[in-house]
Structure formats: structure tokens, C-alpha cells
A = this chain, B = another copy of it.
Amino acid sequence: MKKYLFLLMAAVGLVANASAQQALWGASKVVSPELNKDRSVTFRLDAPDAKKVSVVGDFTTLDGKSIARADMVRGEKGIWEWTSPALISELFYYSFVVDGLKINDPANVYFNRDFASMANIVIVGGGYGDNYVAHDVAHGSLKREWYHSPTLGFDRRVTVYTPAGYEQSKKKYPVLYLLHGSGGDEEAWIIQGRTQHIMDNLIAQGKCEPMIVVITNGNNWQQAAPGETAEGLVYPSRRVRMKPKNDASFVDSFGDIINHIESNYRVIRKPEGRAVAGLSMGGGHSFRISYSYPKMFDYVGLFSASVNNVTDEKVAAQLAAQRDNGFKLYWIACGKTDFLYKNNIAYMKYLDKIDFPYEYRESEGGHTWRNWRMYISEFVPMLFKK
């Protein structure tokens, strides 16, 4: 008993200690966000001195209405509250605006960084959102590691997902190379894309082959995500651009990543064991990588991709060669209101003209992570099927 009495006293001591730092580390008194059974969400903020408090977010109601801002109502003790209508199953972003100042929700420790901005997140289940959170299934591993890129001339960081069982198995695994968009880095598909949870869940459900997912940094002028380099804790928009050797592009350097992965992981070193996909700029990278590295990838995914309109003869020849070499899947996905929608339509017209086989998935919405999480969830089940 004495041991437990001591531990209790230690715990009390800890509380007293924490209390001294209340102003800095004080925890929240309110529950926010609260997921209700009817799929509505209640947001709360303890702000007795505020005059006006709103929620800003990207909510979509079950009947398809968008809500970008809602005023919260002040309760008796100065706790502001807003309950949404029933929402679709999704990961929503939100912040509070208190008398004109945008702040995080102090009662929610979950949020995402998107380039240089932060927003809290809340995930409503019952549909797509269910795959964006952890479940009681076998979990893969996530490793942040570094490789040398001789092409760019510096070391770079890469994030590698290995599926549950990889370490214990002796078999070779297929690899999906997954590329971010402009403003992103090797964290984007994990933080914003929830890729680790999507993979764990789809593999556990038997909907998807176990595969390695390699999340690269597609900015040829940087080594790694903010805070992970010798630049220190600099604000993302103020980062200094490094000069790549011989002005090499990320596409030029892609072989360095493949070499690193194929030298360090137990993988299938054949086209049928390789896929490349990306969103926006990363979709443009995937477009170029898949024709620049002939017979390398049997699976290609372009999500809201910045494809060009193929006026370059060399590109045209490479695309024709890609078509003739053959592959298993060339999947293009875009939202109807995406600012790159017209480009993707024009690109597919070109592909039709040269009899280049592809599949097209058109969705609602635009250039958003909501779509990219949905696209990756639909894309990976099509890969590496025997």
C-alpha cells in the first residue's frame, strides 16, 4: 500500500506543480468538439469576455448544404456554443473567430498544418470519415527517414508506410509512391491525407493489397518539412530555397528515391509492383514521372493533376511510348469545380486522340483534401491485384 500512497502523493504534487503553470498549460474546461449521435457536432468555447464568437469551417450537411461560418451563442457562464446540423461523414477543418481574431479551439488537440496555416479537425463517422481514423485493426508502421539524392545534391527526408506484417514476413511487397501538391511536403499525405489510417483500414477490410507507401518531398528546393532542417523553426512561407545541382527537377531526381527504396526495402522490383500517384503538382509529377521512367510503373494516379496540354513533341513521343509499352491502370480523377478541371478534360481529349487507355473518375467539389482523401481511398483498392 505504501507504494501506492506514495504514487498518489506524487500525483498530487504533480497537480500542484501544474497549477503553478496554469496560465501556460491550463487544460480546457469545456468539451469541444462533441460528436452527437444524430451526426451533428457541438462546438464550445469558454470566452466570458468575448463580444462575438463564430466558427469558420468547411462543413457539409447531410442534405448537401455547405456551411463556412456560423455564429456561436453565448451561454450563461460565458461559454459560447454552436451545434451544427447533421453532417456528412468527413474530416472537417475549423477555427474560431473571437472578436475578429482567428484562434484554435483550446479544447481540441487535433489539428492540421496546411503549408503555413493551422486549423483544428473533427471527423464525423458513418461513411468516408470512418477510414480516416484508427480502428482496432493491425497497424502498419510509419518511418521518417533520410536518403541521399545525388541528382539534387543533398540529403532528403521521406516518409515510408509499411503494412502490418511486413517486418515479420519474408515476401516482397509492391510500392505506391505518393506525391503531394504545391505547399505540401513529405508530411502532407499523412497529416492532411490520413493515408496511414486509410491504408490500415482498407488492408484490414481486405479491400486493398498490403503495400508499402512512399511519401516523398516533391519540392526540389528543399530537404524536408518545416522544422526538420538546419533552417530551424522558420515559418513555412519564409523558408529559403536551396539550389538543386544542375537545376535538376524533382522528376529528374525520382530515380534516387526508387533506388533508395529498392535498396532498403523488400519490394517487387518490376512494373507490376510499382505505382505512382499524386495530387495537383504531385499529379503533374506523376504524369511526367510515369512517361520519363519507361516500363517502371504499371499503375498511375493523377488526382486533380496539373497536367499540361502536350504541345511538346518530346512529351508526345514519350506518352506514345508509354502507351505502347503498356501498363495496367492510368487513373485520372478531378472535381467538377476544380480550377484544373478544364486542363484535365483537355488532357483526356489528347489521350483519346492517341488511343492512350485511361480511366476517369469525376467527383463533385474542387481542389480539396476532401477529394484527395476520397481519391486515394478509391485508388489503392485497384492496385497490385493478381
| Chain A 252-274 residues near chain B, CB threshold 8 A | 264
A58: chain B residues at CB < 8 Å are 21, 24
A99-B50 contact given A2-B311, A146-B141, CB 8 Å threshold: yes
Is A3 part of the contact surface with B, judged by Cβ < 8 Å? Answer: yes
Q: Please, how many angstroms separate the alpha-carbon atoms of A102 and B47 in the complex?
A: 9
A10-B235 contact given A68-B24, A142-B143, CB 8 Å threshold: no
A104-B133 contact given A98-B98, A226-B109, A232-B123, CB 8 Å threshold: no
Q: What copy number does this chain have within its complex?
A: 2
Is A117 part of the contact surface with B, judged by Cβ < 8 Å? Answer: yes
Q: Please, how many angstroms separate the alpha-carbon atoms of A93 and B23 in the complex?
A: 11
Give A90 Cβ to nearest chain B Cβ, in Å: 13
A56: chain B residues at CB < 8 Å are 23-24
| Cβ-closest chain B residue relative to A49 | B100
Is A309 part of the contact surface with B, judged by Cβ < 8 Å? Answer: yes
Is A331 part of the contact surface with B, judged by Cβ < 8 Å? Answer: no
| CB contact between A143 and one of B108, B110, B116, B141 (< 8 Å): that residue | B141
| Cβ-closest chain B residue relative to A56 | B23
Docked-complex contact A238 and B122, CB < 8 angstroms: no
Docked-complex contact B142 and A144, CB < 8 angstroms: yes
> Can you list, as one digit per residue, whether each of A85-118 has a CB less than 8 Å from chain B (1) or not (0)?
0000000011101111111101111100111111
A123: chain B residues at CB < 8 Å are 232-233
Docked-complex contact A113 and B109, CB < 8 angstroms: yes
Docked-complex contact A235 and B31, CB < 8 angstroms: yes
Docked-complex contact A48 and B309, CB < 8 angstroms: no
Q: Please, how many angstroms separate the alpha-carbon atoms of A106 and B142 in the complex?
A: 29
A121: chain B residues at CB < 8 Å are 233
A228: chain B residues at CB < 8 Å are 134
A134-B339 contact given A69-B23, A99-B99, A237-B27, CB 8 Å threshold: no
A357: chain B residues at CB < 8 Å are none
Is A364 part of the contact surface with B, judged by Cβ < 8 Å? Answer: no
Give A127 Cβ to nearest chain B Cβ, in Å: 15
Q: Please, how many angstroms separate the alpha-carbon atoms of A311 and B6 in the complex?
A: 12
Docked-complex contact B24 and A100, CB < 8 angstroms: no
Docked-complex contact A339 and B101, CB < 8 angstroms: no
A115: chain B residues at CB < 8 Å are 27
Docked-complex contact A17 and B366, CB < 8 angstroms: yes
Docked-complex contact B14 and A339, CB < 8 angstroms: yes
| Cβ-closest chain B residue relative to A168 | B264
Give A47 Cβ to nearest chain B Cβ, in Å: 5
Docked-complex contact B2 and A308, CB < 8 angstroms: yes
Is A164 part of the contact surface with B, judged by Cβ < 8 Å? Answer: yes
| CB contact between A227 and one of B21, B49, B134, B144 (< 8 Å): that residue | B134
| Chain A 126-171 residues near chain B, CB threshold 8 A | 133-136, 138-139, 141-146, 155, 157, 164, 167
| Cβ-closest chain B residue relative to A143 | B143
Q: Please, how many angstroms separate the alpha-carbon atoms of A365 and B353 in the complex?
A: 73
Q: Please, how many angstroms separate the alpha-carbon atoms of A110 and B236 in the complex?
A: 10
Q: Please, how many angstroms separate the alpha-carbon atoms of A231 and B235 in the complex?
A: 33
